[in-house]
Amino acid sequence: MDNKAPHLQISMLGIVSRDYCYTYPNGFRDFSYAFPGVLSLLDEEGCNAVLFSLFSIVPWDDFDPLKSLNGLQNIKAVLYEEFMDGNPRTQGRYVIWYKEGDTWHEYSFKQVFSRLKGLKPEIIQNFAKFEMPKRILGNICLLICGETNGVNYSRSTKLVHDTFGMKGAIPPETNIVLNPVHDKMKRPEMKLKRAFLSENERWVVSVWNRGKKSENGKLMDGKGPAWTVFYDGKEVTNRVQLIANSLDVEIGILDIGKTWPEKGIKEDEDEIDIPNIDADYDAYGWLTEADYYRRHGEASKDLFIPPMGKLPGEGKLPVAMITGTVNPEAPHSGGPAVGEGKGGYGGSICFARVGNIMADSQIAEFRVLKGKELE
């Protein structure tokens, strides 16, 4: 094996995580059982690359990735880490399978460091100079777990700095940093580092495993999905579309090639005045371009609100984020009733009348959030 580095062009990324304490029917706690199903599902969804959280695959004799890779139509790259399971787990190679023509090739390397503490500066400088070129693989760059600490946070300035030149080693045309992680990183400066690496219109995608426990046995998974996404200095994790599945894994899709226009909302029309209704359920969705023009032109004034975690379907181009309060008891004219759940909705609401709103409307305290992401 010549270990030739690929030149990838990723535009639709599948992101996969799981509870690494869960034992699958094949007796293993890795992705090997779900691997074929995950790839088949994401291939059907049109992804051209799949990123797994770390501690991914135990390279046992009967596991042959090519059995799952051969026959894929859209996926051109699959990225995962080999490891030996145990207490503790032991990480091995990081592996990238990539397709050129009709042939799959394997490229691999190993994580170099995980934290700055105790490291001599020249180690990080050498990483930036000699290792980073091996991680620049077309429009993506790979930083494994704590290697993102190659940019350092200064407590005195409260800013992140590229002291060792690691960020500067990433060429402008490499617009994606993939950062698979072993466990959720709790320190607040990690988000600052990811935001810093994403500056100048670059994506930074991190994904980790669920299941880590503290010394007192408390789960440390936190809320939300087991990944974050940053773009141009801001967190945009909600741009990942959650994909329902029966594989006992968590799957999301990030459409990196998608444009996110702000056109359609005028400065003096950011707010939509809606009569207040007694309700304490929150909801959010996308205001679409077609719905915006209907709202200002025709009699029909429907606002599309897809299920939580979903993006508008074909022909529904988003122009702004919206948020509001849902009254789950009120009858309404568009779509089935909203699911229960404080602080969210079950995903069944589809339309809400925002024109000549009546007292029985499902939406209250409704407004458009122009040019900003939901917290």
Q: Where in 236-305 does DSSP place strands (E)?
A: 241-243, 250-255, 281-288, 302-304
- CA 342-348-352 angle, to 5 degrees, is 90
Q: What pLDDT is attached to residue 224?
A: 87
Q: What is the pLDDT of residue 64?
A: 96
Q: Is the N-terminal amide bond of 6 cis, ω within 30° of 0? A: no
Q: Which backbone phi and psi does 69 adopt, to 5 degrees? A: -80, -40
pLDDT of residue 207: 98
The rounded mean pLDDT for the chain is: 76
Which whole number is the average pLDDT over 277-299? Answer: 35
Question: Could you give the C-alpha distances from 10 to 74, 99, 123, 345, in angstroms and in order?
Answer: 11, 12, 30, 32
Specify the DSSP class assigned to residue 66: H
Token reading at 115? 């934290």
Cα torsion 156, 160, 166, 168 to 10°: value is -120
Rounded to two decimals, the pTM is 0.71
Would you state the pLDDT for residue 1? 57
Confidence of residue 222 (pLDDT cuts 50, 70, 90): confident
Average pLDDT over residues 197-219: 93
Three-point CA angle 172, 178, 181, nearest 5°: 150
- For residues 131-160, average pLDDT: 96
Check residue 115 and give its pLDDT: 86
Residue 198 vs residue 216, higher pLDDT: 198
Chain centroid to CA 297 = 36
Give the DSSP letter of residue 35.
H
CATH entry, 12-255, from 3.60.110, 1.10.1740, 2.30.30, 3.90.550: 3.60.110
The DSSP code sequence of 62-81 is T--HHHHHTT-SS--EEEEE
pLDDT digits (tens, 9 = 90+) for 309-366: 333 343 333 333 344 444 444 433 333 223 222 222 222 222 233 332 222 233 333 3
DSSP character at residue 246: S
Instruction: Tell me what pLDDT residue 313 has.
Output: 40
Where do the domains of the chain lie? 12-255, 267-369
Assign 238 to helix, strand or coil. Answer: helix
Give the mean model confidence (pLDDT) for residues 152-175.
95
pLDDT tens profile 240-279: 999 999 999 999 999 998 755 443 333 333 333 333 323 2
For residue 164, give the 3-state DSSP assignment. Answer: coil
